[in-house]
Amino acid sequence: MFNGVFNGKSVWLSGHTGFKGAWLAEWLLCLGARVQGFALPPATQPSLFQQLGLASRLHHEVGDIRDPAAVKKSILAAQPDFVFHLAAQPLVRLSYEQPVETYSTNVMGTINVLQALREFEKPCPAVMVTTDKCYENREWVHGYREEDSLGGHDPYSSSKAAAELAISAWRRSFFQDHPVKIASARAGNVIGGGDWAPDRIVPDCIRSLQAGQPIGVRNPKATRPWQHVLEPLSGYLWLAALLYDQRSEPRYQKSELGNQRSEVRNQKSELSNQEPVSSSVHRLLSSDLRPLTSDLRPQPSGLDSAFNFGPSHESNRTVAELVVEVLKHWPGSWEDTSSPNAAHEAGLLQLSTEKAHARLRWLPVWSFSQAVEHTVTWYRTTAERPDPGAARELTSAHIDRYTAEACQAGLPWATAGALHPAGVTLPPMNDRRSPPSSKLVPVVQVPPPVGDV
Ligand SMILES: NC(=O)c1ccc[n+]([C@@H]2O[C@H](COP(=O)([O-])OP(=O)(O)OC[C@H]3O[C@@H](n4cnc5c(N)ncnc54)[C@H](O)[C@@H]3O)[C@@H](O)[C@H]2O)c1
């Protein structure tokens, strides 16, 4: 998996006490990495960080990303082989209450990481995590591409757009002939076990269901690209692994795209012969391949650029549809609590992942219903089993199962194949090789949802 590049490597990870950061820390530990986390203490009780017992399993450093000296000292001391920057104030509604703090954390925090990396002298891919909300939202029915205009109505979204602008400017100004390679990653709304943030729909659902109360839904008609947290994380890890593999390669050549373009055009017919592939993945492949041929224009930049990691089209659902799906696995009820005076939130938001597919051969693995089922299973099982090992066991089982299904589908990050530098023809998606280790097969059984409550 990921060609084994993380095994024994040092990884600097900001935001490891948060939802996505804790999942990423757990996955990196499974991959054999030594993880140095840099973040504020967990903001919620419970927190996934505490449920996974991460404080004793990685180098846990409490620090403020807004403090340039602390960030620099931490990164230089860690001498990382990889950097993942996730620390942020990520809540839209809180950003209306704390716009200045949101900007200083999300923009200056990112710049502090970039500035520290300028002084770094060894090869090191750095994946800077922003969001799908960094695009100027025009309520388009199609997905935003990496070249689309950045913007953002609210302080959170626009702070992430500003972070993207800073990343792009620093990359062009300071990291062209530099051993550190900077990429940014824009993901959709992630769901998964262990998110306890306020004002997020899945944690809101779980809190209401645990209390036996109807779920209050304040924006039922808003459409979002829902995806399981493991989907973008596989993209971040694979992007970093490919950048690592390119560390001594010359920069990407436009002319090399010819092979890649025709090879991707052929994929749809190759895929139709592909059996057996997990039905959900096959469906995702079929639907996601359709627009590829129109977007294979040469990319001016290499892998050190921006990438979207979103779900398939069928996962673009309204908040109400998400809640109804949650209720299939944990029965209860919901009510519309929308108010005409509520703060603005985007109505329609979708991401195009054509670039991630064309350049990385990355695709989502789990369908919308699978993502919701695994998410609710996580919460219900850990609610039934509050012993310290339950969350860790379940989280590892989800990572194993996700990886096994990606492997079965032939996704390059999950198979044992060689890495694929940009511009070199990638193997077709039906070129399925043996999984890298027996650990991946058979598919790990995630416990089924516990009985109705
Ligand atoms: N959750 C989503 O749906 C989603 C979607 C797209 C992008 N993202 C992005 O993914 C990243 C992680 O999001 P999350 O959902 O895990 O958020 P989270 O709130 O669960 O975690 C945020 C992390 O950032 C850290 N942090 C916040 N302020 C800090 C500061 N001043 N100094 C140091 N650390 C600080 C927190 O301690 C925590 O570890 C963020 O960059 C977010 O914008 C999240």
pLDDT digits (tens, 9 = 90+) for 428-452: 333 333 333 323 222 233 333 233 2
Distances (CA, A) of 1 to 25, 165, 259, 357, 399: 16, 32, 25, 18, 12
Give the pLDDT band of residue 137 (cuts 50, 70, 90).
Answer: confident
Distance CA 3, CA 39 (A): 28
| C-beta of 40 in contact with ligand 1 (< 6 A) | yes
> What integer pLDDT is reported at residue 311 of this predicted model?
93
Whether 287 is in a domain gets the answer yes
Which of 8, 23, 21 minimizes the C-alpha distance to 378? 23
Most informative mutation of 47, 61, 86 for ligand 1 (most atoms within 8 A of CB): 86
Give the domain extent around 327: 2-440
Please tell me the least confidently modeled range out of 65-79, 169-183, 383-397: 383-397
Flag whether pLDDT at 46 surpasses 60.
yes
Q: Please give the pLDDT value at position 451.
A: 30
Which pLDDT does position 426 carry in this prediction? 36
Q: Is the pLDDT of residue 25 over 90?
A: yes
| Contacts of 249-252 spanning 24+ positions with Cβ under 8 A | 249/421, 251/302, 252/299, 252/301, 252/302, 252/303, 252/422, 252/423
Quote the pLDDT of residue 10: 98
CATH code: domain of residue 157: 3.40.50.720
Q: Which of 136-150, 329-343, 352-366, 433-447 has the highest mean pLDDT?
A: 352-366
Q: Phi/psi zone of residue 15: left (φ > 0), alpha (ψ -120 to 50 degrees), beta?
A: left
Specify if 136 maps to a domain. Answer: yes
Residues 378 and 331: beta-carbon distance below 8 Å: no
From the alpha carbon of 66, which atom of ligand 1 is closest? 31
Q: Give the range with max mean pLDDT: 29-33, 270-274, 385-389, 428-432.
A: 29-33
The answer to the question of residue 451 being in a domain is no
- Least confident range from 82-86, 239-243, 295-299, 380-384: namely 295-299
Pairwise CA distance, residues 34 & 380, whole Å: 31
pLDDT of residue 343: 66
Instruction: Give the residue-averaged pLDDT of 30-36.
Output: 98
Residue whose CB lies within 8 A of the most ligand 1 atoms, among 19, 92, 315, for a mutation test: 19
pLDDT of residue 302: 85
Q: How far is the CA of 90 from the centre of ligand 1 (A)?
A: 5
- Report how far residue 415's alpha carbon sits from residue 405's, in angstroms, rounded to the nearest whole number: 11
Distances (CA, A) of 447 to 279, 401, 450: 20, 11, 8
pLDDT for residue 211 is more than 90? yes
205: Cα separation from own chain's centroid: 22
Is residue 83 a part of any domain in this protein?
yes
- Say how far apart CA 150 and CA 148 lie, in whole Å: 6
**How confident is the prediction for the chain on average, in pLDDT?**
83
The whole-number average pLDDT for the span 299-327 is 89
From the list 123, 114, 121, the residue with the least C-alpha distance to 82 is 123
| H-helix or E-strand spanning residue 225 | strand 223-228
Residue 271 is assigned to a structural domain of this protein: yes
**Which residue has tokens 């799908």?**
132
List the structure tokens of 248: 């001594």
pTM: 0.84
**Better pLDDT: 41 or 271:** 41
Residue 189 near ligand 1, beta carbon < 6 Å:
yes
The rounded distance, in Å, linking the Cα atoms of 69 and 71 is: 5
User: Omega of the bond prior to 428 within 30 degrees of 0, cis?
Assistant: no
Could you give phi then psi for residue 180, rounded to 5 degrees? Answer: -85, 130
Atom of ligand 1 at shortest range from CA of 160: 43
Q: How would residue 142 be classed by pLDDT, with cut points 50, 70 and 90? A: confident
Does residue 235 belong to any structural domain of this protein? yes
User: pLDDT per residue over 94-127, tens digit each?
Assistant: 999 999 999 999 999 999 999 999 999 999 999 9
The closest-lying atom of ligand 1 relative to the alpha carbon of residue 129 is 41
Model confidence at 252: pLDDT above 70:
no
> pLDDT value at position 3?
87
Residues 6 or more apart from 27 whose CB is under 8 A from it?
230, 233, 237, 399
Residue with CA at minimum distance from ligand 1 atom 23: 15
Is-contact 268 286, C-beta < 8 A?
Answer: yes
Q: Which atom of ligand 1 is nearest to the CA of 187?
A: 6
Calculate mean pLDDT across residues 239-245. 93
pLDDT average, residue stretch 143-152: 93
Q: Are 59 and 37 in contact (CB under 8 A)?
A: yes
**Contact predicate 236/129, CB 8 Å:** yes
> How confident is the model at residue 345, as a pLDDT?
64
- Per-residue model confidence (pLDDT) at position 299: 35
Number of compact structural domains in the chain: 1
| Distance separating alpha carbons of residues 90 and 403, to the nearest angstrom | 27
CB count within 10 Å of CB 173 equals 10
Check pocket membership of 20 for ligand 1, CB cut-off 6 A: yes
Q: Please work out whether the CB of residue 39 comes within 6 Å of at least one atom of ligand 1.
A: yes
Does 64 map to a domain? yes
Is the minimum distance from the CB of 86 to ligand 1 under 6 angstroms?
Answer: yes
Does 224 reside within a domain? yes
Task: Report the distance separating Cα 151 and Cα 206, nearest Å.
Answer: 32
